[in-house]
Structure 1
């Protein structure tokens, strides 16, 4: 904790929502940590949001209930919020949104502490991400691969199983090399108690908790703490990655709750609202979180991010997913239509995208046929969806036999490739083999995205469609 100047200000000019306004201040800086003392003697942490000539606006993390404009006190601590912890202090443990232990263990200690706001990474120092991370989920590994150092968000909707998918990724994510040190930092913002217990139970039962540091801001915790939670989690991730050379996967859920808290503070502060009432600086604020992922030249560790957000009204053009898509390198989109069909995980691969996928797959990473097979599955599935729309107009019985093959492929891809059990961990090789099995229900003339050599080596030749038999073309 930074040391303060010792100056204490008695009385508040105004209390508005989660903010307090202090006049007559001197030598106070932006993002400086403050202590607000209630008339009952309770000390609450806060952070300076803005400063003018003699006025400071402080956001109080624990809320402003019980504060008195006449009898409350404010102490400015002379520095930003700092946090730090070594791997043995945080891995396998659970903390609240402010980094305080929830597991009855001691507070984490560290030789050095970092500013939770982070430091800009010199773009020249960034190493290009190109190492594949296996999540065990075919729709991700096969068609929207995650690469070490990437930021790949999941766009979900209310009621969709993004928490279940998050837990599955946290349990199963691994590097193909296997021997490198890998850990996960999970930051949850505004989640329900049942969801928090679900994460804890899933990780404990699978034995994964020992490699996970959890930071939980629950729905009934002060919403202002949600602005701090992802920054504390990323500060820990940076320390583990760049001081202790671990490869860290950071999962942030739910970024929509974070943005709602940001809008609440901006409204209380009197900022001019932009789209949907969010502040105009929403883009830069999200970028200050997302851009802390990456690899640095000369450092052995890395940070990969999977932010998860629920799209209000399933609207992908809403400001939160819209701006997130601009900053990050793609998106995984959960689809309500697939969910209503009983498919888990309901990942719609057509609007989903991983912009760095081509650099992390193929020869030397996964398998040489990965890129072409993924492209082929996309092309066939896109055509199948067009045929489905045609069938809804003219009826399936009036389709040509070749078009009905596309309907069969769409059903098979959704039922066998996209769908898998919540505890099913497929290797990328199993995913690719399954993809070939589905693609080769088509005659060779339809498989225009793969090479004849790949088709001969990996393809599966189908027997008569009536009996469903299949035999490998080449072993």
Structure 2
């Protein structure tokens, strides 16, 4: 592998290969500039996804990736956009391989833009090897099933939708809700049971105020050498957003499978990423599918989400938490819809819960972790974890029915049992679900809070937990029947 070096503009992009005819030829037949795309003619021996360097008059240098080859025409997406370019005075050098980045521990503690260029005033990133950002699919034969929890310190996540090492668990939200705050809190607090743990945070399309918040909130973890920050701002070239999650996952894969860390990758916001894919698709004049997105959006998202997991012979793992904002709260929108097909559950944030002053505003009855049973319970979290989580959710479903009934006929007309469920809902939301934005709770604290909330119900209603667990964990109450 070629050792990377700094480019002329201070980027961490690798140097061209030292041999190979393609890297020596400079093409000047640029025929069209179309949005973020450049079309060059007279091209031979160039392949799809090949990395290119674009030299402009005046010495400026930009970079691109080959999107399409049609006979002697090559369509190149320009990472820094085509603004300021003209058809004359452009030369293109194709590097003979896909885009590679340096990988290794040198990324830890660094803050970079969406292309991996430093924003923290430090030198370009150096690594022990270079890897292609497109990555390689993990052979299913060598996959280990996800197991063991990743604890976030957030009760509603750890207790009811437990994140498992090697899982992909998205956060579905609505614009205006604190999904970025939740994602950042997870990045700041997450651990994996004493194992070596690292976080890669890939931000896409954020405002500068949001980027400043993320940097401030994660400063402690970054200073400890446990965090990589890749920040794509809303006013950065939109094409950069397509590259950002791929760079993040390439860094994470090396940290996990070569250096044996457990790595959590936070990607926010995947809707911004999908809109960038749609913009490039429109510039390529492709036939649109649902809501203008390209028909290959599903497979494109899968190339990202499926890069997580555990592999045989490796102690590390990659866990992914993508954030998906649902336009107008529509969970059938293509981005959350397709994400739901690929991933293993979802954490759903609801405006109605946020309006009651609860943080994080998780709708627990719409949320689930399909791999929770693989990472929770005896010898993993606590023996009563799965039973008490099932009881909390079952009681919440009954409490919601009782609340709706009270709105129709009045609370005075309800049975004593129904009134106890309404009391339970208030208790569980205040005591278990609601917590501070920088509050880090232990799992024992979370489960004890769940038992405390369940104590508002008659004991004969607690049918999801064993008698032994009731005697051991349920707080005493004098008027229990």
- Normalising by the residue count of structure 1, what TM-score does the alignment of the two structures yield? 0.95
CA deviation string 1:307-341 (max 9, x = no partner): 11111111111110111111011111111111111
Instruction: For residue 56 of structure 1, give the secondary structure of its aligned residue in structure 2.
Output: strand
Task: Name the CA shift for 1:52/1:252 in 2 (closer, same or farther; >3 Å).
Answer: same
Residue 350 of structure 2 is aligned to residue 335 of structure 1: yes
2:4 matched residue in structure 1 = none
CA deviation string 1:71-121 (max 9, x = no partner): 32222111100012321x111110111111111111111231111000011
Residue 438 of structure 2 is aligned to residue 423 of structure 1: yes
CA deviation string 1:219-272 (max 9, x = no partner): 111010000011011111111111111111111111111001000000000111
2:172 to 155, 166, 171: 155
Instruction: For residue 313 of structure 2, give the secondary structure of its aligned residue in structure 1.
Output: coil
In structure 2, distance between residues paired with 1:205 and 1:93? 12
2:52 to 13, 22, 34: 34
The answer (yes or no) to whether the contact 2:111–2:230 under 8 Å persists in 1 is: yes
The runs of 5 or more residues in structure 1 that have no matched partner are: 466-475
Query: 1:209, CA displacement in angstroms?
Result: 5.2
1:447 matched residue in structure 2 = 462
2:80 matched residue in structure 1 = 62
Residue 82 of structure 2 is aligned to residue 78 of structure 1: no
The ranges of structure 1 where at least 4 consecutive aligned residues each deviate by more than 4 angstroms after the TM superposition are 205-209
In structure 2, distance between residues paired with 1:392 and 1:50? 59
1:237 to 229, 236, 252: 252
1:280 to 288, 295, 300: 295
Instruction: For residue 349 of structure 1, give the secondary structure of its aligned residue in structure 2.
Output: coil
Query: 1:208, CA displacement in angstroms?
Result: 6.0
Instruction: For residue 457 of structure 2, give the secondary structure of its aligned residue in structure 1.
Output: coil
In structure 2, distance between residues paired with 1:65 and 1:425? 45
1:407 matched residue in structure 2 = 422
Query: 1:62, CA displacement in angstroms?
Result: 0.6
The answer (yes or no) to whether the contact 2:103–2:131 under 8 Å persists in 1 is: no
2:243 matched residue in structure 1 = 228
Instruction: For residue 250 of structure 1, give the secondary structure of its aligned residue in structure 2.
Output: strand
Instruction: For residue 174 of structure 1, give the secondary structure of its aligned residue in structure 2.
Output: coil
1:310 matched residue in structure 2 = 325
1:382 to 378, 397, 403: 397
1:468 matched residue in structure 2 = none
Residue 297 of structure 2 is aligned to residue 296 of structure 1: no
The runs of 5 or more residues in structure 2 that have no matched partner are: 1-13
2:129 matched residue in structure 1 = 112
The answer (yes or no) to whether the contact 2:149–2:380 under 8 Å persists in 1 is: yes
In structure 2, distance between residues paired with 1:342 and 1:206? 28
Residue 453 of structure 2 is aligned to residue 435 of structure 1: no
Query: 1:409, CA displacement in angstroms?
Result: 1.0
In structure 2, distance between residues paired with 1:69 and 1:447? 73
Residue 30 of structure 2 is aligned to residue 12 of structure 1: yes
Task: Name the CA shift for 1:247/1:362 in 2 (closer, same or farther; >3 Å).
Answer: same
Instruction: For residue 411 of structure 1, give the secondary structure of its aligned residue in structure 2.
Output: helix
In structure 1, distance between residues paired with 2:385 and 2:279? 45
Query: 1:175, CA displacement in angstroms?
Result: 1.6
Q: How many residues of Structure 1 are paired with residues of Structure 2 in the alignment?
A: 462
Pick which of 52-61 and 65-74 moved more. Answer: 65-74
In structure 2, distance between residues paired with 1:291 and 1:265? 22
Residue 107 of structure 2 is aligned to residue 95 of structure 1: no
In structure 1, distance between residues paired with 2:125 and 2:307? 22
1:253 matched residue in structure 2 = 268
2:337 to 312, 315, 322: 322
In structure 2, distance between residues paired with 1:99 and 1:208? 18
2:152 matched residue in structure 1 = 135
Task: Name the CA shift for 1:62/1:272 in 2 (closer, same or farther; >3 Å).
Answer: same
1:52 to 54, 70, 94: 70
Query: 1:204, CA displacement in angstroms?
Result: 2.0
Instruction: For residue 106 of structure 1, give the secondary structure of its aligned residue in structure 2.
Output: coil
CA deviation string 1:334-354 (max 9, x = no partner): 111111111111111111110
